[in-house]
Chains A and B, each alone.
Chain A
């Protein structure tokens, strides 16, 4: 009895001692970093489409934080989140990847109460309408459908607004077809033109099945062949139908090439091999900067949109997590927003970005007004001269014209197979 008692005391003592030592050790570990205020370096996993050196420089000036980019492709981001969630502190990924990421439990909900500008995040994300109240097309994996989690560690999307967001939106845009107006010589107004035999051997689309099939669906619908209940979630029959139409076009020699890499699409267009194709907005800028006429053509059926945002992997905790929130808050505070808007993308918090843009810039990029003077990119390249207007017009017109969003389908496996069959045909 006695001995038992004494042993329990000594155990408690030991425990106390143990905690004390651990605390001391922790203090010793952290103390030097506090004193020398070593900058925290966040490991940032993403495609880094939008992050240049100047962003990192400005970040360090403003917050003392540093980021180390792990720049990979969109598919690779998904793979990393699922297989190595401890290899990064912060991930920048697309909303359409969420149906794969969230069930894995590898990403945490972001606490919206810790995001200063959360209430100012554009309503396209939170409510699915533009700031002026215009309804946005919600086919596909629309951000407003996968915005919230049931709890910070939830593996399911919440149907109502909660405190926890899957991704804090950062960048998004509305995609359409790119054309070479100088080589086409007539107005283009419909997605159906992609398969118009007039452009036989001079059309292209992308060989990324999940995005390619959405563009294909826009074309099929524009041709009046079929109206999809949801282009972003096709049935097997709908996939068959879509691929049949594209396979026939491919066999007839409609396509000069498919592309997988951004630079390939630039080369195809700049060299004149292709005059009409699925394209991304920075590629248009790249073709223009080579002195070639290239237009991101608004089409009457609308746009295919995409959006990306920040998520926290479940392994990021404590001080690092605090730093991530600080970084995200800085990201939304306006400077980066202006930087993105000047490249033709859109920022998630519009009012803060506006403060960092000149009236002329805001008018040109966001309001569809004619430029008063030269419009420059963040790197100083001239993108438009006085009098020119942005392709597609204002934010309201472009985002309000969204017909569908990049998506992950339930029948993804079947879709990938059918896509491969088309490529092999």
Chain B
């Protein structure tokens, strides 16, 4: 006769409770508060509970009349989208290539891990130190300009190497390529080698294998990496600020300035708009692929 063994078996959904609580306390609640405060009124020294849409109207003031050209908000979002798009494009290309190399060309695991760790070097130093150290490299009297002048390739130092859109995108790419590498690499490792062999045996060349086999199977990784990069860059103001010489607009900087000047409801309204735009971008991206199905 078999004894029935009773094991305490909670419903699986219970296991989600701890995370759900954290999620509610540190995400849902603050977000709700931000949403609420964005409808409050404020003075120089206080915020006043209220329900006004003035903060939102103020943000889009003059945006639809085009009296003075583009309004501040539109200009700022265009500038933010610009950085976002190019950073995304470049990190995607670089991240894909690096992941491809790591996954398919490096066969020993220790070497794979070593190379992977090397990719994390940009995160070993503090953000500020890293950005300050670009000056001796890209500055007017920096290493790059000095070398080019010594080689006789240029007569005058190139000014746009630093404090320009170029330097901003360079720094962002330098920072966030890893965010692309990790998920894409992860997707690539899951690809069954036999599938690639089958493609090869069927006469596909390398380009065709990448295009028709690897990329489709890496889509979840690509999408996850893209979400990381886009959300981070959309809200960035430190890198854009320092590398752009504070002369390039980003929506993060506007929110930062408003918070410094205690215009908290205004900052909250801007944050809500930024959040919805970012969510919209992510929704559009996930339209291309159902991440949950692919995972």
Chain A, range 149-184, C-beta contacts under 8 Å to B: none
CA distance A424 to B163 in the complex (A): 14
Residue of B nearest to A75 (CB): B260
- Say whether B249 faces chain A, with CB atoms less than 8 Å apart: yes
Q: Is the beta-carbon distance between B140 and A250 smaller than 8 angstroms?
A: no
**Which of A73, A250, A271, A425 is within 8 Å of B141, CB to CB?**
A271
* A-chain residues with CB within 8 Å of residue B261 when the two chains form the complex: 75, 209-210, 412-413, 416
Task: Specify which chain B residues have a CB less than 8 angstroms from the CB of A256 in the assembled complex.
Answer: 163, 245
B174 interface hit (Cβ, 8 Å): no
Q: Does B229 contact A (CB under 8 A)?
A: no
Who on chain A is nearest to B254 by CB?
A420
Residue of B nearest to A204 (CB): B245
Given contacts A209-B257, A420-B72, A424-B75, contact A271 B139 (CB under 8 A): yes
A residues 391-418 in Cβ contact with B at 8 Å: 408, 412-413, 416-417
Choose among B242, B249, B259, B263 the residue that contacts A413 (Cβ–Cβ < 8 A): B263
The minimal Cβ–Cβ distance linking B260 to chain A, given in whole angstroms, is 4
Size of the chain B interface, CB-CB below 8 angstroms? 32
Closest to B258 in A: A416
- Determine the main DSSP class of A at the interface with B: helix
Q: Contact: B262 with A417, CB < 8 Å?
A: no
B89 within 8 A of A: no
The answer on a CB contact under 8 Å between A103 and B45 is yes
Give the residues in chain B near A204, CB-CB below 8 Å: 245
* Chain B, range 233-258, C-beta contacts under 8 Å to A: 241-242, 245-249, 253-254, 257-258
User: In this complex, which of B46, B135, B253, B257 has the most chain A Cβ atoms within 10 angstroms of its Cβ?
Assistant: B257
* Residue in A101, A250, A271, A408 whose CB lies within 8 Å of B247: A250
The answer to whether the Cβ of B159 comes within 8 Å of any Cβ in the partner chain is: yes
Residues in A226-269 with C-beta less than 8 Å from chain B: 250, 255-260, 263-264, 267
Tell me the chain A residues, 69-107 only, with Cβ under 8 Å from chain B. Answer: 73, 75-76, 78-79, 82, 99-101, 103-104
Contact of A82 among B45, B72, B247, B257 (CB under 8 A): B45
* A421 CA / B76 CA spacing, docked (Å): 9
B residues 129-176 in Cβ contact with A at 8 Å: 132, 135-136, 139-141, 159, 162-163
Max chain A CB contacts within 10 Å: which of B159, B163, B260? B260
Cross-chain contact A258 with B246 (CB below 8 angstroms): yes
Residue total for A at the interface (Cβ-Cβ under 8 A)? 40
Nearest CB on A from B238, distance (A): 10
A271 to B136, CA, bound (A): 8
- List of B residues within 8 angstroms of A258 by Cβ: 245-247
The smallest C-beta distance from B63 to any residue of chain A, in angstroms, reads: 12
How many whole Å from A262's CB to the nearest CB in chain B?
Answer: 12
- B192 within 8 A of partner (CB): no
Q: Is A100's CB under 8 angstroms from B247's CB? A: no
B: which residues have CB within 8 A of A?
Answer: 44-46, 72, 75-76, 79, 132, 135-136, 139-141, 159, 162-163, 241-242, 245-249, 253-254, 257-263
Query: Which A residues are within 8 Å of any B CB, using their own CB?
Result: 73, 75-76, 78-79, 82, 99-101, 103-104, 201, 204, 207, 209-210, 250, 255-260, 263-264, 267, 271-273, 408, 412-413, 416-417, 419-421, 423-425
Beyond the given pairs A209-B257, A416-B261, 12 more chain A to chain B contacts, judged by CB atoms under 8 angstroms and listed by A's residue number, are A73-B260, A79-B260, A100-B262, A103-B45, A263-B132, A267-B132, A272-B141, A273-B162, A273-B163, A413-B261, A420-B76, A423-B253
